[in-house]
Amino acid sequence: MADILSNSVSGLLAVQRALTTTGHNVSNANTEGYSRQRVSMSAQVPQFMGNGYIGTGTKVDSITRSFDQFVESQLRDATSDSSRLSYIENFASQVTGVLGDTETGIAASTDAFFNAAGDVASNPTDITSRQAFLNQAGALADHFNRVDAQLAQLDQGIGQQAEAISREINTFANEVADLNDKITTAYAQDPNALPNDLLDRRDKLITDIAERINVRVVDDGAGSLNLAVGTGQPLVTANMASQLTTTNAPGGLQVSIDGQSITHRVTGGDLGGMIEAQETLIQPLRSELGRTAMVVAQEVNAIQKDGFDLNGDPGKALFNVGQGDPNNDLMGGSVIASPGNEGAAGADVAITDATLLESGRYVARFDGSVWKITKEDGSGASTTVDPTSTSVTTDIPGMSIDFDSAGAKTGDRLFIDAGLGVAGRITTTDLGPAEVAAAGSVVDSNGDSVSAGSRDNTNIQKITEMGNQGVVGQSTSDFGASADPDALDGETIAGSLSSAVSQAGSVARTAELQGESARAALDNLEARKQSVSGVNLDEEAAKLLQYQQQYQALARSISIAGELFQSVLNAVR
């Protein structure tokens, strides 16, 4: 109806909605994830009065939130990437702390061990020097044990954190599914009148999930947002949420949704950082430490057994790496079946020459007829084993692999790592100072090898010289005792360990640099979102004043309408 009273009442109701919404904005100015809301008004349909159209007041079309879906999508991706890099950066700093520096780290322990061997060489009959050499051997083994145990503990911590994060993701996913249901119901009633606060809450939950794992978000057009990890298994579909689980298996962290593995699709968030930390730090470092420990044990034991002790008796092994009798071969490598294997395939690994072992682990894949062995990182040539003709291959440097293919299924994978965990098992044997085999051998009148004498140092000198020889990761096997030490083309013991420490430092530095860039991008996107969705208290205060004045004017209009009506009544009395 086109009259002053109805027009003023419609305006009063509209302004009342605007005041309420503005107050809601001010109340949530510091609420994380809140998007500023605004009231959209329009003039009502005018009424034709014979000589023209008269306005009938105003109406509230909608209460919408200031929101940019494109910025929100970018923000989710940036949050995922920043969380991944932050985790790796923090984890790498813990790892470098475990490994120590050049003065206190494990490389320093190897230097101390070889220096102690040099002290024995300088005075072969000195019991004190011999005992110090044994003490340094024990300290080196203890350092290997301690570092490997601490790395294993960090790895165990990843598993515990991953379990807690998976529970959080499931909680968030269930709430997203519940909100999908409520928002879809509201959408069906009126697509232009959606519950803004529920939309904000859902977007905040999805960002919280993205902080923990990378997700892809798809709008179904009916009010629901469906979530999937990468391009794979759905996490939330409409009002149904799947269950995400994590398992810290021997081969690394495994992530699955409703039993379906999605580990290879997890590339962001805290979980992505955990998987990357295991792959680039924990597993390679433990493997490298184990490989170096085996070289130390193998080469020092060989030199010891080649010499004679202070009593003229043949030398005994100094180190044991867990195979029982230290005079026997080194222990076998680690073989881990992939959690996704359908069969019961297995393998036994024997170390034939620790100095030939290459860094990194291997993956053996069964294609239904043969095993194909490759480096996990894709480098180097592949080796094929046909179980119908032979189960054993010696084509992998430094090891012999014997496959048990009886229960193998197509697609089964075995991870083969020669050094994983060995550093945690190396120990010294129970030798006395007199049993250090410092002396070399000579041939007596009977043609037998006997001690060259208690003052001879030719054998212990070999251990001293070994500290400067490239015995880790050689390309060929038998240089022999008389070969030129310069022909050894691997790394030194200390060099190999220093390379491992440097690798951890490099990962930490790379994550730090990339993390700074990711945080800068995240901060920029946060600022962009705030410019669109954030509540500006000055602006809201100005609106409150505007609406207050409008409200007062409309109230005065209503009052005038009442006075005019009263005048009409008085005129007809």
Residue pLDDT, tens place only, 504-532: 888 888 888 998 999 999 999 999 999 89
Residues in the chain: 573
Mean pLDDT lowest for which of 122-131, 253-262, 553-562?
Answer: 553-562
Q: What share of the chain is helix, strand, coil (3-state, %, to 5)?
A: 50, 15, 30
pLDDT greater at residue 97 or residue 134: 134
Domain ranges of the chain: 4-66+535-571, 85-160+276-508, 163-273
CB 477 within 8 A of CB 355: yes
pLDDT greater at residue 39 or residue 99: 39
Q: Which DSSP letter does residue 279 get?
A: I
Helix (H) or strand (E) holding 6: helix 4-27
Banded pLDDT at 536 (limits 50, 70, 90) = very high
Banded pLDDT at 328 (limits 50, 70, 90) = very low
Q: What is the mean pLDDT of the chain?
A: 89
Determine the pLDDT at residue 507: 86
Asked if pLDDT for residue 305 goes beyond 90, the answer is yes
Mean pLDDT lowest for which of 276-285, 354-363, 486-495, 557-566?
Answer: 486-495
Asked if pLDDT for residue 12 goes beyond 70, the answer is yes
- End-to-end CA separation in angstroms for the chain: 26
* DSSP secondary structure letters along 425-467: T-EE----GGG---B-EEE-TTS-EEE--TT--HHHHHHHHHT
Q: Which DSSP letter does residue 243 get?
A: P
Mean pLDDT lowest for which of 28-32, 96-100, 175-179?
Answer: 96-100
Q: Which of 510, 405, 370, 472 is nearest to 110 (CA)?
A: 472
Asked if pLDDT for residue 486 goes beyond 70, the answer is no
Determine the pLDDT at residue 47: 87
CB 461 within 8 A of CB 128: no
Signed CA dihedral, 96, 99, 103, 107: sign only:
negative
Determine the pLDDT at residue 359: 87
Whether pTM exceeds 0.85:
yes
Asked if pLDDT for residue 327 goes beyond 90, the answer is no
Mean pLDDT lowest for which of 43-57, 169-183, 450-464?
Answer: 43-57
Banded pLDDT at 247 (limits 50, 70, 90) = very high
Please state, in angstroms and rounded to a whole number, the distance separating the CA atoms of residues 431 and 300: 14
Banded pLDDT at 330 (limits 50, 70, 90) = low
Mean pLDDT lowest for which of 28-42, 237-251, 467-481?
Answer: 467-481
Determine the pLDDT at residue 282: 93
